Amino acid sequence: MERIETSDEGGPNGAPACSLLAKDLEPCQLVIFGATGDLTARKLIPALFALFRGGNLPKPCSIIGCGRTALDNDGFRQRLAENSPADLAGHPRWDEFTSFLHYRTVQYEAPQSYGELAAFLKELDKRGGTGGNTIFDLAVPPDVYPVISAQLIDAGLAGENDVGRGWTRIIVEKPFGHDLASAKVLDAALHRGFSEQQIFRIDHYLAKETVQNTMMFRFANSIFEPLWNRDYIDHVGIVSAEELGVGTRAGYYDRAGVLRDMFQNHMLQLLAMIGMEPPAGFTAERIRDEKTRLLGCLRPFTAPGQEDALVLGQYGPGRIKGRAVAGYRRENGVRADSLTPTFAMLRVYLDNRRWQEVPFYLISGKRMARKDTRLVIQFKEVPHSMFREVIGGKVGANRLTFGIFPDEEINLSFQAKVPGPRICLRTTDLGFKYYDDAFGPLPTAYEKVLLDCMQGEQMFFWRQDGVELAWAFLDPVLEICEQCDDRKARLKFYEAGSWGPEEARGLMDDLMG
């Protein structure tokens, strides 16, 4: 299904465009550190351009790119046009949009650079009328987060609501540290000058429409919530499979691996969305309270019975869509003897009344058979089958599947009679396509993230207590992956283009079938 992007051209089927805004936006400056990097060109600028075309940027608004590379404004604009995967320069409104773009060369470790940046922002704010409101977006490698945040604080750029200054916010991309200890160090560095209300920790999975829809599905419909517990649900599968290998991210990925890259953030957030208790109200703090409580219920990985709860794998050579691809160890930038896992299946339990002894399977891997992110709710078999004497077998259990990407849909399987004189059952589906009958602009994840930050809405951003609980659970798993004596024996190899190692293949075939 073709993805509908936010634009100025209205919705599908001729429906008129409508605003994405929950409330009016205040004017602001958006300062992007790492402005000459890949994330800015691929995600941030296309998202901002889409918001601009749809009339969903603040008025007025200034976008200031900051990086080590020496560029002027025109050079920055040209670089963005050349490096973006979209044909930005070919759009008739690109030149209009670039009038908002500015560039400043900043040496991240040099206090003088931030003094000059502060003076430039003050002058630009005065000319542009942005009310002193500023967002700092750290689109830089994680080890630079503390450096830039400290310099902003020391330069007096972190405060807000001072004389002549409005609000100030800072956006931090994942990963939030590489373990619990480093996450606490990063948090302390940020909180030296920024309050929790100013910090927006991005997990772009949470900005996906289909992920947010799981919460609406649960709490806006009365028919499923009574079944959403250990009495009716047998197990839950949360899968994020990728066709791609590590690509240009090998330098980062070979240090991080699949658990740091996917589990501490995306996978545990999907678990929280599926498993949390109903919030008392639809507010950011109420919802984040419940997700944090849920993460606090994770059974420690070191508890008895968890010995076989982890399967680790690394892709070897294989074929993707008929094309031969190299194994992980042959990728550029990867060590020839690397033991970094590119696949993990982790079985977890939640020790609370609702979910006691219901297994949740968190699975993610690279170079899989296809790109597919889904949530699978497997219900229990019927306790007594009145048909067993007739059909001579089991009656298939119901299954609810949330397609996150690329199939953005919800399907519920159920049993029905096969037409004809014989008594035979067949499994069939009730289906819902997420974008059927949709109208108006439909934002991509980064559009939604940036828009929420501009509105000061933190509902779908991480809070620090949730970050720490996620790392506290994952640290013992990482210790097994990286420090145990049998690390090499634990790593199972799988063919690129398959559904992972043999030890996980049965479950994967079932969940992805």
Question: Could you tell me the pTM of the whole model?
Answer: 0.90
Query: Is residue 162, in this structure, part of any structural domain at all?
Result: yes
CA distance 345 to 463: 26
Last residue of a domain, one of 180, 201, 222: 201
**H or E stretch at 453:** helix 445-455
Tell whether omega for the bond before 85 is within 30 degrees of 0, i.e. cis. Answer: no
Mean pLDDT of the chain: 89
Q: Are 181 and 256 found together in one domain?
A: no
Residue 9's pLDDT is 44
Q: What are the phi and psi torsion angles at 136 (to 5°)?
A: -105, 120
The single residue listed with the structure tokens 């499979």 is 241
Query: Is residue 513, in this structure, part of any structural domain at all?
Result: no
* Three-state DSSP state, 61: strand
Q: Are 196 and 214 found together in one domain?
A: no
| Burial (Cβ within 10 Å: 0-12, 13-18, ≥19) of residue 102 | buried
Q: Are 362 and 256 found together in one domain?
A: yes
Q: What is the CATH number of the domain that holds 221?
A: 3.30.360.10
Residue 20's pLDDT is 54
Q: What is the CATH number of the domain that holds 96?
A: 3.40.50.720
The residues near 33 (Cβ < 8 Å, ≥ 6 apart) are 66, 67, 106, 108, 136, 137, 138, 139, 140, 144, 148
Are the C-beta atoms of residues 496 and 317 closer than 8 Å to each other? Answer: yes
DSSP conformational letter for 161: S
- Sheet containing 61-67, strands listed edge to edge, beginning at the edge strand earlier in sequence: 101-105, 61-67, 28-33, 134-138, 168-172, 199-201
User: In the numeric block, which tokens belong to residue 39?
Assistant: 């994330």
Distances (CA, A) of 324 to 110, 348, 384, 389, 509: 47, 35, 49, 50, 22
* Dihedral, 23, 28, 34, 38 alpha carbons, nearest 10: 40
The average pLDDT across 232-244 equals 97
The single residue listed with the structure tokens 């076989």 is 308
Query: Is residue 448, in this structure, part of any structural domain at all?
Result: no
Q: Please say if the pLDDT value at position 14 is more than 70.
A: no
Q: Are 416 and 479 found together in one domain?
A: yes
Q: Are 225 and 173 found together in one domain?
A: no
Query: Is residue 470, in this structure, part of any structural domain at all?
Result: no
pLDDT digit string, tens, across residues 272-318:
999 999 999 999 999 999 999 999 999 999 888 777 899 999 999 99
Q: Please say if the pLDDT value at position 4 is more than 50.
A: no
Q: Are 197 and 214 found together in one domain?
A: no
Q: Are 127 and 240 found together in one domain?
A: no
pLDDT confidence bin for 440, thresholds 50/70/90? low
Q: What is the gyration radius of the CA atoms in the chain, in angstroms?
A: 24
Query: Is residue 2, in this structure, part of any structural domain at all?
Result: no
Last residue of a domain, one of 149, 180, 201: 201
Query: Is residue 285, in this structure, part of any structural domain at all?
Result: yes
Residues designated catalytic: 266
Q: Are 22 and 158 found together in one domain?
A: yes
pLDDT confidence bin for 480, thresholds 50/70/90? confident
* CA dihedral sign of residues 298, 303, 305, 307: positive
pLDDT digit string, tens, across residues 448-467:
999 999 999 999 999 999 99
Q: Are 324 and 238 found together in one domain?
A: yes
427-433 LR contacts (CB < 8 Å, sep 24+): 427/396, 433/1, 433/408, 433/409
Q: Are 219 and 286 found together in one domain?
A: yes
The average pLDDT across 344-363 equals 97
Q: Are 146 and 235 found together in one domain?
A: no
Q: Which domain holds residue 91?
A: 12-201
Q: Are 192 and 213 found together in one domain?
A: no
Last residue of a domain, one of 201, 219, 244: 201
The residue among 422 and 190 whose pLDDT is bigger is 190
| Burial (Cβ within 10 Å: 0-12, 13-18, ≥19) of residue 501 | buried
DSSP conformational letter for 350: B
CA distance 509 to 513: 6
CA nearest 42: which of 209, 201, 204, 213? 204
Are the C-beta atoms of residues 294 and 211 closer than 8 Å to each other? Answer: no
Query: Is residue 512, in this structure, part of any structural domain at all?
Result: no
Query: Is residue 398, in this structure, part of any structural domain at all?
Result: yes
- Structurally, the chain folds into a number of domains equal to 2
Question: How many other C-beta atoms can be found within 10 angstroms of the C-beta atom of residue 216?
Answer: 10
